[in-house]
Structure 1
Amino acid sequence: MATAGSKPLTVPQVCAELGISRSTFYDWRAKRRAPKCITLPNGSLRIRRAELERWLAAHEDAA
């Protein structure tokens, strides 16, 4: 079972962390450019912290 520290993030939490709007997140999702999501039985989405970190690392720009 997941611990409180590893509780999946909601779309608003991810949007706030990335500094993007919900519409941008859903646009990325439609284009398959967003982090992988978990779809709950009620249709809500959740994003695992580890998946968000992996997604961010994959989008790092070597400066």
Structure 2
Amino acid sequence: MARTFLTLDEFLAELEVPRSTFFRWKALGQAPKTYKLPNRSIRIRRTDYDAWLSSREEPQAA
């Protein structure tokens, strides 16, 4: 069964981007929706990640 939430490290590993890139995207409003837990760790709901990634798909070249 797939996990409902990704940790920030899992998100970064899937996209192969550095942490600084994620926080730049977040500051620019271009990152997926995040959830901050009481211990200050960040989680990203898998469905939010999938929708965010799909919204960045480029059209096929003609």
Runs of 4+ in 1 over 6 A off after TM superposition: none
Question: What TM-score comes out, normalization by structure 1 length?
Answer: 0.86
* 1:27 aligned partner: 24
Q: Gaps spanning 5+ residues in structure 1: where?
A: none
Which has the larger Rg?
Answer: 2
3-state SS of paired residue (1:5): coil
Shift of 1:5: 1.8
Q: Gaps spanning 5+ residues in structure 2: where?
A: none
* 2:14 aligned partner: 17
- Whose helix fraction is larger, Structure 1's or Structure 2's? 1
**1:37 and 2:34 aligned:** yes
How far apart, in 2, do the equivalents of 1:21 and 1:13 lie? 12
**How many residue pairs align between the two structures?**
60
Tell me how large the CA RMSD over aligned residues is: 1.1
Question: What TM-score comes out, normalization by structure 2 length?
Answer: 0.87
Shift of 1:41: 1.2
How far apart, in 1, do the equivalents of 2:12 and 2:28 lie? 16
